[in-house]
């Protein structure tokens, strides 16, 4: 397929109309795959699907726990929005035949709290039963959420996604029509870009700022 680079000639080009804003990119990734069902213009903001379909949830007690109660996963053990990685259940308060805990997601963010004997009903779902020995502060369980590998194809950037597409990894350097099937292309991974020339997934508001670990800078044009 011949790639439409979408580049204006120097005679008609204006700085404001081009996707570049000041510092042109110095790095690009060639031979990327734009996933089927998309018709993207040069300047499309791209995310890469690195996480595939849900696989399984498993749990294990922390090494060295004092309490010997058992954590039982619900069926299903997860809800929409669950992240891949390890959720940590950490006991913070001791109580006879009880004990309270907090739950941290894989990014270390506390997403809720609970007590022994009562079901925890969040993006991970479980119940911890009381054991012969009570839990103490510092006891823990790890709940691992596993997904299958992603397809490593590129989609319009969507910060609300959870499959890797939420991470802006590049700016499409050429128009690619993948309406009827996967197509090849290339993307820039650094540089400065004019906000008004970029596109993202439907409903996404693009804001000026620094992305991709500081390598991509989006600027709002001024007249």
pLDDT tens-place string over residues 186-196: 999 999 999 99
> pLDDT at position 17, please?
58
Question: pTM for this structure?
Answer: 0.67
What domains can be seen in the chain, in order of their start residue? 28-50+151-219 (2.40.300.10), 52-148 (no CATH)
Q: Rounded CA gap, 56 and 60, in Å?
A: 14
The single residue listed with the structure tokens 């508001």 is: 205
Is the distance from CB of 135 to CB of 65 less than 8 angstroms? yes
The single residue listed with the structure tokens 């502060």 is: 137
Q: Which residues of the chain have pLDDT under 70?
A: 1-17, 223
Is the distance from CB of 128 to CB of 118 less than 8 angstroms? no
In sequence order, the 6+-apart residues with CB closer than 8 A to the CB of 186 are 3, 28, 29, 30, 31, 32, 172, 173, 174
Among residues of the chain, what percentage have pLDDT more than 70? 92
């Amino acid at each position: 397929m011949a790639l439409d680079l979408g580049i204006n000639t120097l005679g008609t080009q204006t700085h404001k109309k081009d996707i570049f804003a000041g510092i042109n990119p110095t790095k690009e990734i060639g031979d990327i795959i734009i996933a089927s069902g998309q018709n993207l213009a040069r300047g499309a903001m791209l995310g890469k699907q690195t996480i595939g379909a849900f696989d399984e949830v498993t749990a294990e007690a922390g090494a060295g726990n004092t309490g010997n109660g058992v954590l039982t996963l619900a069926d299903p053990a997860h809800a929409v929005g669950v992240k891949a990685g390890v959720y940590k259940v950490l006991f913070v308060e001791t109580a006879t035949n009880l004990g309270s805990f907090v739950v941290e997601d894989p990014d270390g963010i506390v997403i809720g709290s609970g007590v022994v004997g009562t079901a925890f009903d969040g993006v991970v779902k479980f119940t911890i039963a009381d054991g012969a020995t009570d839990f103490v502060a510092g006891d823990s369980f790890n709940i691992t959420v596993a997904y299958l590998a992603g397809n490593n194809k590129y989609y319009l950037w969507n910060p609300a996604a959870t499959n890797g597409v939420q991470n802006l990894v590049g700016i499409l350097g050429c128009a690619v029509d993948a309406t009827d099937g996967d197509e090849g292309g290339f993307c820039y991974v650094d540089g400065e870009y004019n906000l008004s020339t970029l596109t993202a997934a439907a409903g996404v508001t693009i804001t000026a700022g620094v992305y991709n670990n500081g390598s991509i800078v989006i600027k709002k044009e001024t007249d």
